Structure 1
Amino acid sequence: MIMNTFTIEQTPADIVKIFPKASDFFKERRIDFCCGGDKPLTNVFSEKQLDGEVVLKELNDLYQEWSKEDHDVTDWDAIPASQLIDHIVHTHHAYLNDELAPLGQFVTKIFRVHGAKHPHLKELHRIYHELKLELEEHTIKEDEEVFPLIKEYELNPSEALLEKIRIANGGLEDEHDVAGDLLKRIRVITNDFTPPVEACNSYRITYARLADLESDTFQHIHLENNVLFKNLAK
Structure 2
Amino acid sequence: MFTAKDKIGEIATKFPAAMSIFQKYGIDFCCGGDRPLAEAIEEQELDKEQLMEEINTVYQEKEAELEEINDNWEETSSSDLIDYIVGQHHTFLKDKLPEISELVIKILRVHGINHEEELTKVHRLFHNLKIDLEQHLLKEEEIVFPAIKKYEQNTKEEKQVNGFSRVDELKHEHDQAGDIIKELREVTADYNVPDDGCKTYERTYQLLEELETDLFQHIHLENNILFTRLKQ
The TM-score, its normalising length taken from structure 1, stands at 0.92
Which residue type is aligned with residue 84 of structure 2?
Answer: H
Residue 69 to residue 157, structure 1, CA distance change in 2 (3 Å): closer
Rounded Cα–Cα distance in structure 1 between residues aligned with 2:61 and 2:185: 28
| 1:105 aligned residue | 102
Q: After TM superposition, list the pairs within 5 Å mapping 1:173-212 onto structure 2.
A: 173-212=171-210
Assess, with a 3 A threshold, how the Cα gap between structure 1 residues 159 and 144 changes in structure 2: closer, same or farther.
closer
Q: Which runs of 5+ in 1 are unaligned?
A: none
The answer to whether the 8 Å contact 1:153/1:162 transfers is: no
**Contact 2:103 2:200 (8 Å CA) reproduced:** yes
Q: Whole-Å Cα distance in 1 between the matches of residues 156 and 169 of structure 2?
A: 21
In the TM superposition, what are the counterparts of 1:28-177 in structure 2 within 5 Å?
A: 28-67=24-63, 72=69, 74-118=71-115, 119-158=117-156, 160-162=158-160, 165-177=163-175
Structure 2 distance, partners of 1:221, 1:51, is: 26
Deviation at 1:65? Answer: 3.2
Tell me the alpha carbon deviations over residues 66-118 of structure 1, each in whole angstroms, 9 at most, x when there is no partner: 34657625210111111111111111111111110111110111111112211
How far has the Cα of 1:164 moved from its partner?
5.1
Deviations 1:55-74 (A, max 9, x none): 21222223233346576252
Within 2, Cα distance between the matches of 1:16 and 1:53? 18
Distance 2:160 2:73 in 1: 21
Q: Secondary structure at the match of 2:159?
A: helix
**Identity rate of aligned residues, in percent?**
43
Q: Give TM-score, length-normalised by structure 2.
A: 0.93
Q: Does 1:24 align with 2:27?
A: no
Rounded Cα–Cα distance in structure 2 between residues aligned with 1:24 and 1:183: 16
Q: How many residues align?
A: 230
Give the CA deviation at 1:193: 1.6
Displacement of 1:182:
0.5
Q: What whole-Å deviation, never above 9, does each CA across 1:153-183 have from its counterpart, x for those lacking one? A: 1112236325754421000000000001111
Which aligned pairs between 1:210-225 and structure 2 lie closer than 5 A? 210-225=208-223
Supply the AA of the counterpart residue of 2:44: K
Q: What does the per-residue CA deviation read over 1:26-65, in whole Å, with 9 as the maximum and x for residues that have no partner?
A: 1121100001111101111112222212221222223233
1:66 and 1:161 map into 2 onto residues whose CA distance is 39
Query: Structure 1 stretches (4+) deviating beyond 6 angstroms?
Result: none
